[in-house]
Amino acid sequence: MKNLKIILLTVLFFSCHRAVDQQSYFIAKDLYLQGDTQGALEKLESIENQNPYFLLPFILDGRISLFTGQYERAEEKLAHVLKSKPLDFDSLRWMSHLYIITRRWEAAEELISIALENYPEEPRLLLLLASSYKAQGKVKEAVVTYHRAYLFEVELAYAHYELAQLYSQFGLETEYKEQMERASALSERRIHE
DSSP 147-173: HHHHTHHHHHHHHHHHHHHHHHHTT-H
Q: Is residue 123 scored above 70 in pLDDT?
A: yes
**Per residue in 145-161, pLDDT tens?**
988 887 777 777 777 77
Higher pLDDT, 12 or 111: 111
Angle of helix 89-101 relative to helix 105-118, nearest 10 degrees, comes to 160
**What are the distances in angstroms from CA 115 to CA 23, 54, 58, 137, 165?**
30, 22, 19, 23, 33
What mean pLDDT is reported for the chain? 86
Does the predicted TM-score (pTM) go above 0.75? no
Residues in the chain: 193
Q: Is residue 18 scored above 70 in pLDDT?
A: no
pLDDT for position 71: 97
For residue 136, the 8-state DSSP code is T
pLDDT band with cut points at 50, 70 and 90 for residue 49: very high
Long-range contacts: 188-193, Cβ < 8 Å, 24+? 189/153, 190/153, 190/154, 190/157
What is the C-alpha to C-alpha distance for residues 15 and 20, in angstroms, rounded to an integer? 9
The HSE-up count of residue 73 (CA atoms within 13 Å, CB side) is: 17
pLDDT for position 146: 87
We find that the CATH architecture of domain 1-85 is Alpha Horseshoe (1.25)
User: Which spans in 34-172 are helix H?
Assistant: 37-50, 56-67, 71-84, 89-101, 105-118, 123-135, 139-150, 152-169
CA angle 158, 113, 96 (to 5 degrees): 90
What is the C-alpha to C-alpha distance for residues 16 and 37, in angstroms, rounded to an integer? 27
**Average confidence (pLDDT) over 94-106:** 96
Contact criterion met (CB below 8 Å) for 93 and 59:
no
